[in-house]
C-alpha cells in the first residue's frame, strides 16, 4: 500500500491549515462533539472558549488525534490538514503529531535533564547527531524564551524548574520537531499571573511562525492574545468569528452571556 | 523559519516515513508471551499434581487413603493413610494461630489506635524484618533454642514435637496478621472514631466498639491468610517436628505435616514410578487445595469488606 | 459514683494499652533473642577460613565457599529470568492489555500463584525441570524453579512502579509522535526503574533464603566440588543450613556451622535490603 504523505505545504499560500467538516465524536454512547465545521487559519491564534464540559478540550485533542487514546471514542466526519483528511487510514499519526504539536494544561516535562526534554522528539524520530541536537535545543529554547534562564544548567533535571519555566520547556519540547501548528490546552491554568503573562507574550511572538489553537477558560486571555475565537456550547460550535467581533458584537445571546461572565 | 529548522523537519519526516515499526508491532506479542508464562506455571502445577495424584488414587484404595495408617517406606505392604498428615497439619497450624492471632491482633490494635506516630514508624520496619527472615532460620531457632527451652519446662517433651514449631511459626506469622489487620483498622473512616471519642469514649472503648466491628472482615481475612500461610509452611516443621507418622493429638510428640512429608519423601529415595513417588503429588494436590480454598475465602471476605465503605 | 466509673474506664484503657503493647514487645524480644542466639552460636566459627574453605565432614575444617558460589550461581539464573518475565508481564498488564478477560485471568492467576506454598513449586520443578527436561538437581533446574516462585513478587512490584508513572508523561510522549514502544522504553521504564529494581531485590532476597523447593529438587547434602556451570549440581546457603541443623543430633558442632551460615545469609539479606532502600530513596522520582 502506498503511504499517503502529508504534503509539505508549509510555505504554500494556503490560508487554512485545518478545515474541519461535519465532525462528530462520541465517548461510548455520549456525544461530545456535534457536527463541528470550522476552519483554522494560518499564522493566527484561534481561541477556543466555552463552559466546562462543552467539548473544547475534546475538540483540540482530535486535531492531533490524541483523543483516540481513550478506548471508547468514536469519530465521524473529517478534519483536513492542508487538504488531507487526518483520519485517512494511510496517514501516520506519528507524522501528524510532529506537525501538530501540543502543550498541556499541567506542565508535564519528563523527569530528565532540560536538554533531554527538548531533544526528546528529534531523538525518538531518529536524529542522532549530537551537534545538530544541541543546535535544535538552543533554537527551540530561544523560541520558547527560556534559553537565557536555563543555558547554564541544561543538564539539570527539569523537575527543578518553576511551573512557568516548566511550561515554556514543554513549549520548547513541542517546537523542537518543527511543527507548524501548536495546540495549547489551557496552558496557563496551573500558573501564577506573572508566568501566565510570559506565556501569553510568547504566544503572540510565536504566531509569526506557527498557527496556534488555544483552549482557555479566561475571557481576558482570549481577548488579549487571539485573532479568532470559537465559542463551544454542549458539544456544538455556537459561534466562530474574529475575536473583536465575538467580544463586542456577538451574534448569539448565549455567546454574549458567556463572554460577559453571566454564566459559565 | 530558518533553513536549519526546515532541514530538521525534513530529516524527521523521512525518518518516520522510512520507519518499518516492526519493533513496535513485535513487542506486545513478546510481552504477551512472557505474561502467559505465569498462567502456564499454574497450568503446569495443576497438571503435574493432578496426573500423578491420579496415578496414586487409582493405585491406592479410598479406605486406605482415609485411614490413619501411614507407612510409605515400609518395604512390604506400604500403607498410605493421609489422616496423620492432615491431623499434624491442622494441629501445628492451630498452635501457630493460637500465638499469631491474639498477638498479631493486639499488636495491630496497639499500633493503629494507641501508639504514637514515632513508635509506629520505628516498630513497623522492625516487624517487617521479622517477616523477612527466611523460614529455615526460624527452623533452626525452633530446633536449637525453643525446643530445649520448652523441654526444661515440660520434661516429657520429645526432641521433635509439634509444640515448638507451632509456636515459632506463630511468631513468624505475627507480622502478617498485624500488618493486614492494621490496614483494615486504618481503613475505618476517621469520622466514625472521632464521633465516638467526642462522646467521651476512651480509646479502648473506641477500639472495641467502633474499630474492631468496622474492620472485622479485614481482620478475619488476615486470619484466614495466616492459616493459609501456616498450612503451606515447610522448613520449620520439617526441622523441628520430625517425621513421625503416628496419628496422635499429643503436641509433645513428633508429628508430620503435609509439607514435611513432601520434603522427607523427595530428599529420600522415592524412585520415579513408585506409589510412594505419586503419593507426593497427591499430598501436594490436597495441600494446594487447602491453601487455595483459604485464599479464595480471604479474597471473598476482603472484597465484601471493601464494599462497606 | 460517676467519678469512680470514669476512673475505672481510664484505668482499663491504660491497662489494655499496655497489654497490647506487650504483644509488640514480645515480637521484638523474640527477634532480639533470635539474633542473639545465632550470633552467639556462630562466634568462633565465623572466620575467613569458614568463608573461603570447602565443605568437610569435620566441622572444624568446614567452609562454605562452594555453598556461597552455589547461591551466586542460583541467583545468576533467577535475576535475568525473573526480571525478563516479571517486568514483561507487568508491562503487558499495565501498558498493552485491554481491560477484559485475559487481563483479569493473568492478574487473578498471579495473585493466586503468590500464595501457592513454596514446596509445591518444588514439586513442579521436580516433575517439569528435573525429570521432564532432564535437568536433574542442576543449578538451572533450581534457578528456574526459584524464578517461577518469586515471579509474582516481581510482577506485582513492577506493576506498582509502572502504575505510579503519571499518565501525563505518556501523553507528552504520544503528543510528540512517539509510538507505544518508544513511550514505554523512553518514558515509562526509566521513570519506573527504581521501583522495579526495589521489587527485584526484594524478590531476590526471598529467593536466596528459600529452602523447601530446593530440598524437594533433591539438592545433595554434602558436595565437595565447587560448581562451574549452570548444569552442575550445587548446594546453596539455606540448603546447607538445613542439613547442618538436621545433623546436630549426630555432631553438636554442626549447630555452630549452621548458625555461622545463617549469619552470612542474614548479612547478605541485610545488604540487599539496604541497597533496595537506597535505590528507593535516592532514585525514585517524586511527582
**Domain span including residue B48:** 3-59
Asked if residue B91 and residue B47 are part of one domain, the reply reads no
Return the residue in A3, A125, A136, A140 with the most chain B beta carbons within 10 A, the one to mutate for interface testing. A125
Asked if residue B241 and residue B143 are part of one domain, the reply reads yes
Asked if residue B291 and residue B217 are part of one domain, the reply reads yes
**Residue A76 within a domain:** yes
How confident is the model at residue B54, as a pLDDT?
92
Distance CA C68, CA C83 (A): 22
Min Cα–Cα distance to chain A from B31, Å: 20
How confident is the model at residue A12, as a pLDDT?
52
Give chain C positions within 8 Å (CB) of B104. Answer: 23
Asked if residue B55 and residue B168 are part of one domain, the reply reads no
**Domain span including residue A167:** 16-259
Which residue among B34, B202, B266 sits closest to C92, beta carbon to beta carbon? B34
How confident is the model at residue A9, as a pLDDT?
43
Residue with cell 520507519: B19
Interchain contact, C245 vs B143, CB within 8 Å: yes
Give the number of other Cβ atoms within 10 Å of residue A136's Cβ: 25
Helix or strand or coil: residue A16?
A: strand
Asked if residue B157 and residue B300 are part of one domain, the reply reads yes
Which of the residues in chain C have pLDDT under 70?
1, 221-224, 285-287
**Residue C51 within a domain:** no
Would you call B300 an interface residue with chain C, using a CB distance cutoff of 8 Å? no
Min Cα–Cα distance to chain B from A99, Å: 9
List the CATH number of the domain containing A115: 3.40.50.300
The structural domain count of chain C equals: 2
Angle between helices C65-91 and B22-59 (to 10 degrees): 120
Show the cell assigned to A150: 536555563
| Tens digits of residue pLDDT in A139-196 | 999 999 999 999 999 999 999 999 999 999 999 999 999 999 999 999 999 899 999 9
| Tens digits of residue pLDDT in A26-64 | 999 899 999 999 999 999 999 999 998 889 999 999 999
**Residue A68 within a domain:** yes
Beta-bridge partners for A241: A229
Distance CA B264, CA A129 (A): 64
Which residue among C172, C179, C187 sits closest to A94, beta carbon to beta carbon? C179
Report the number of secondary-structure helices (H) and strands (E) in chain A: 11, 10
Distance CA A21, CA A38 (A): 7
Q: What share of chain B is helix, strand, coil (3-state, %, to 5)?
A: 75, 0, 20
**Domain span including residue C15:** 2-42
Distance CA C165, CA B293 (A): 35
Asked if residue B110 and residue B20 are part of one domain, the reply reads no
**Residue C275 within a domain:** yes
**Residue C60 within a domain:** no
Give chain B positions within 8 Å (CB) of A1. Answer: none
Asked if residue C259 and residue C117 are part of one domain, the reply reads yes
A45, A223 contact by CB (below 8 A): no
Q: Which residue of B has its CA nearest to A122?
A: B12
Give chain B positions within 8 Å (CB) of A127. Answer: 8, 11-12, 15
Min Cα–Cα distance to chain B from C139, Å: 17
Q: Half-sphere exposure (CA, 13 Å, Cβ side) for A228?
A: 17
Show the cell assigned to B3: 533553513
Give chain B positions within 8 Å (CB) of A94. Answer: 16, 19
Which residue among A104, A111, A121 sits closest to C171, beta carbon to beta carbon? A104
Which residue among A95, A132, A209 sits closest to B16, beta carbon to beta carbon? A95
Distance CA A90, CA B96 (A): 66
Q: Which residue of B has its CA nearest to A143?
A: B1
Burial C117-142 (b: 16+ CB within 10 A, else e): bbbbbbbbbbbbbbeeeebbbbbbbb
List the CATH number of the domain containing C191: 1.10.3720.10
Asked if residue B112 and residue B38 are part of one domain, the reply reads no
**Residue A9 within a domain:** no
Would you call B272 an interface residue with chain C, using a CB distance cutoff of 8 Å? yes
Give the number of other Cβ atoms within 10 Å of residue B25's Cβ: 12
Interchain contact, B16 vs A92, CB within 8 Å: yes
Q: What share of chain A is helix, strand, coil (3-state, %, to 5)?
A: 35, 25, 35
**Residue A1 within a domain:** no
Interchain contact, C131 vs B272, CB within 8 Å: yes
- What was the ipTM of the complex prediction? 0.92
The structural domain count of chain A equals: 1
The structural domain count of chain B equals: 2
Max CA distance (Å), chain C: 81
Which residue among C16, C109, C127 sits closest to B38, beta carbon to beta carbon? C109
Q: Which residue of B has its CA nearest to A139?
A: B5
Interchain contact, B6 vs A94, CB within 8 Å: no
Asked if residue B209 and residue B115 are part of one domain, the reply reads yes
Asked if residue C191 and residue C139 are part of one domain, the reply reads yes
Chains contacting C with at least 3 CB pairs below 8 Å?
A: A, B
Asked if residue C128 and residue C270 are part of one domain, the reply reads yes
Give chain A positions within 8 Å (CB) of B16. Answer: 92, 94-95, 98, 125-126
How confident is the model at residue B2, as a pLDDT?
60
Interchain contact, B37 vs C151, CB within 8 Å: yes
Asked if residue C182 and residue C213 are part of one domain, the reply reads yes
**Residue B190 within a domain:** yes
C149, C203 contact by CB (below 8 A): no
Report the number of secondary-structure helices (H) and strands (E) in chain C: 12, 0
Min Cα–Cα distance to chain B from A4, Å: 10
Please enumerate in sequence order all residues whose Cβ is within 8 A of that of C201, keeping only pairs 6 or more positions apart, or say none: C272, C273, C275, C276, C279
Q: Look at strands B79-80 and B70-71 and give their pairing.
A: antiparallel
Helix or strand or coil: residue B12?
A: helix
| Tens digits of residue pLDDT in B47-93 | 999 999 999 998 888 888 888 888 877 777 788 889 999 999 999 99
- Higher per-residue confidence, B76 vs A238: A238
**Residue C58 within a domain:** no
Distance CA B25, CA A111 (A): 27
Asked if residue C148 and residue C34 are part of one domain, the reply reads no
Name the phi and psi angles at B225, rounded to 5: -65, -35
**Residue C216 within a domain:** yes
Which of the residues in chain B have pLDDT under 50?
none
pLDDT over threshold 60, residue A5: no
**Residue A141 within a domain:** yes
Asked if residue C70 and residue C23 are part of one domain, the reply reads no
Q: What is the pTM of this model?
A: 0.89
Give chain A positions within 8 Å (CB) of B24. Answer: none
HEC string of C17-39 equals: HHHHHHHHHHHHHHHHHHHHHHH
Amino acid at each position: 500500500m502506498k503511504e499517503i504523505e502529508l504534503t509539505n505545504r508549509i510555505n504554500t499560500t494556503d490560508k487554512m491549515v485545518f478545515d474541519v467538516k461535519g465532525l462528530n465524536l462520541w465517548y461510548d454512547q455520549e456525544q461530545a462533539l456535534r457536527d463541528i465545521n470550522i476552519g483554522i487559519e494560518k499564522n493566527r491564534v484561534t481561541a477556543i472558549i466555552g463552559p466546562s464540559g462543552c467539548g473544547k478540550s475534546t475538540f483540540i485533542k482530535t486535531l492531533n488525534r490524541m483523543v483516540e487514546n481513550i478506548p471508547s471514542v468514536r469519530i465521524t466526519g473529517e478534519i483536513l490538514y492542508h487538504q488531507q483528511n487526518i483520519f485517512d487510514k494511510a496517514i501516520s499519526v506519528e507524522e501528524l503529531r510532529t506537525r501538530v504539536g501540543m502543550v498541556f494544561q499541567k506542565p508535564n516535562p519528563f523527569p530528565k535533564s532540560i536538554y533531554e526534554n527538548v531533544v526528546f522528539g528529534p531523538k525518538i524520530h531518529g536524529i542522532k547527531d549530537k551537534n545538530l541536537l544541541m543546535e535544535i535545543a538552543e533554537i527551540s529554547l530561544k523560541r520558547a524564551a527560556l534559553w537565557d534562564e536555563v543555558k547554564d544548567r541544561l543538564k539539570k533535571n527539569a523537575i527543578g524548574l518553576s511551573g512557568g519555566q516548566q511550561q515554556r520547556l514543554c513549549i520548547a519540547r513541542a517546537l523542537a520537531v518543527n511543527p507548524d501548528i501548536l495546540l495549547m490546552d489551557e496552558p496557563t491554568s496551573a500558573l501564577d499571573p506573572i508566568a501566565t503573562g510570559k506565556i501569553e507574550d510568547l504566544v503572540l511572538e510565536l504566531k509569526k511562525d506557527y498557527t496556534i489553537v488555544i483552549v482557555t477558560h479566561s475571557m481576558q486571555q482570549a481577548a488579549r492574545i487571539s485573532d479568532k475565537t470559537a465559542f463551544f456550547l454542549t458539544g456544538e460550535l455556537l459561534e466562530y468569528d474574529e475575536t473583536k467581533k465575538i467580544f463586542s458584537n456577538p451574534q448569539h445571546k448565549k455567546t454574549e452571556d458567556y463572554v460577559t461572565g453571566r454564566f459559565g | 523559519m530558518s533553513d536549519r529548522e526546515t532541514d530538521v523537519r525534513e530529516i524527521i519526516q523521512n525518518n518516520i516515513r522510512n520507519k518499518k515499526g516492526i519493533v513496535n508491532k513485535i513487542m506486545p506479542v513478546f510481552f504477551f508471551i512472557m505474561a502467559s508464562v505465569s498462567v502456564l506455571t499454574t497450568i503446569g502445577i495443576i497438571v503435574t499434581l493432578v496426573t500423578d495424584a491420579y496415578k496414586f488414587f487409582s493405585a491406592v484404595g479410598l479406605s486406605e487413603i482415609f485411614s490413619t495408617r501411614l507407612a510409605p517406606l515400609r518395604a512390604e505392604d506400604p500403607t498410605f493413610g493421609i489422616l496423620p498428615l492432615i491431623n499434624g497439619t491442622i494441629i501445628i497450624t492451630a498452635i501457630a494461630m493460637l500465638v499469631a492471632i491474639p498477638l498479631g491482633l493486639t499488636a495491630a490494635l496497639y499500633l493503629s489506635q494507641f501508639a504514637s506516630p514515632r513508635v509506629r514508624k520505628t516498630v513497623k520496619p522492625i516487624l517487617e524484618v521479622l517477616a523477612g527472615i527466611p523460614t529455615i532460620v526460624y527452623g533452626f531457632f525452633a530446633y536449637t533454642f525453643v525446643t530445649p527451652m520448652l523441654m526444661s519446662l515440660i520434661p516429657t517433651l520429645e526432641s521433635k514435637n509439634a509444640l515448638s514449631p507451632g509456636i515459632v511459626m506463630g511468631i513468624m506469622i505475627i507480622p502478617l496478621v498485624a500488618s493486614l489487620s492494621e490496614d483494615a483498622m486504618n481503613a475505618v473512616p476517621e469520622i466514625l472514631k472521632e464521633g465516638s471519642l467526642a462522646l467521651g469514649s476512651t480509646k479502648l472503648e473506641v477500639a472495641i466498639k467502633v474499630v474492631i466491628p468496622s474492620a472485622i472482615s479485614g481482620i478475619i481475612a488476615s486470619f484466614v491468610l495466616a492459616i493459609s500461610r501456616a498450612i503451606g509452611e515447610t522448613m520449620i516443621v520439617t526441622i523441628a517436628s520430625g517425621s513421625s507418622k503416628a496419628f496422635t493429638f499429643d503436641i509433645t510428640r513428633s508429628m508430620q505435616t503435609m509439607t514435611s512429608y513432601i520434603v522427607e519423601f523427595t530428599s529420600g529415595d522415592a524412585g520415579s514410578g513408585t506409589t510412594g513417588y505419586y503419593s507426593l503429588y497427591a499430598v501436594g494436590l490436597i495441600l494446594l487445595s487447602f491453601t487455595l480454598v483459604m485464599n479464595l475465602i480471604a479474597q471473598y471476605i476482603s472484597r465484601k469488606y471493601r464494599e462497606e465503605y | 459514683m460517676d467519678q469512680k466509673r470514669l476512673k475505672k474506664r481510664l484505668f482499663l484503657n491504660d491497662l489494655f494499652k499496655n497489654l497490647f503493647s506487650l504483644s509488640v514487645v514480645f515480637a521484638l524480644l523474640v527477634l532480639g533473642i533470635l539474633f542473639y542466639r545465632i550470633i552467639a552460636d556462630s562466634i568462633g566459627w565465623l572466620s575467613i577460613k569458614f568463608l573461603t574453605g570447602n565443605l568437610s565432614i569435620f566441622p572444624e575444617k568446614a567452609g562454605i565457599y562452594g555453598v556461597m558460589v552455589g547461591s551466586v550461581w542460583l541467583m545468576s539464573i533467577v535475576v535475568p529470568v525473573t526480571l525478563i518475565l516479571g517486568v514483561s508481564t507487568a508491562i503487558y498488564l499495565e501498558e498493552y492489555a485491554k481491560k477484559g478477560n485475559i487481563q483479569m485471568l493473568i492478574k487473578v492467576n498471579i495473585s493466586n500463584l503468590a500464595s501457592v506454598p513454596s514446596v509445591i513449586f518444588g514439586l513442579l520443578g521436580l516433575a517439569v525441570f528435573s525429570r521432564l527436561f532432564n535437568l536433574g538437581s542442576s543449578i538451572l533446574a533450581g534457578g528456574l524453579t526459584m524464578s517461577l516462585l518469586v515471579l509474582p513478587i516481581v510482577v506485582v512490584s513492577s506493576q506498582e512502579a509502572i502504575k505510579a508513572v503519571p499518565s501525563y508523561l505518556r501523553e507528552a510522549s504520544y503528543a510528540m509522535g512517539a509510538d507505544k514502544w518508544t513511550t514505554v522504553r523512553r518514558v515509562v521504564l526509566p521513570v519506573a526503574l527504581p521501583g522495579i529494581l526495589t521489587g527485584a531485590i526484594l524478590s531476590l532476597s526471598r529467593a536466596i533464603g528459600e529452602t523447601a523447593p530446593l530440598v524437594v529438587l533433591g539438592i545433595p547434602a554434602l558436595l565437595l566440588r565447587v560448581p562451574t556451570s549452570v548444569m552442575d549440581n550445587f548446594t546453596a546457603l539455606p540448603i546447607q543450613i538445613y542439613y547442618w541443623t538436621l545433623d546436630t543430633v549426630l555432631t553438636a558442632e554442626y549447630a555452630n556451622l549452621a548458625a555461622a551460615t545463617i549469619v552470612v545469609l542474614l548479612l547478605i539479606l541485610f545488604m540487599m535490603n539496604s541497597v533496595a532502600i537506597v535505590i528507593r530513596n535516592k532514585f525514585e522520582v517524586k511527582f
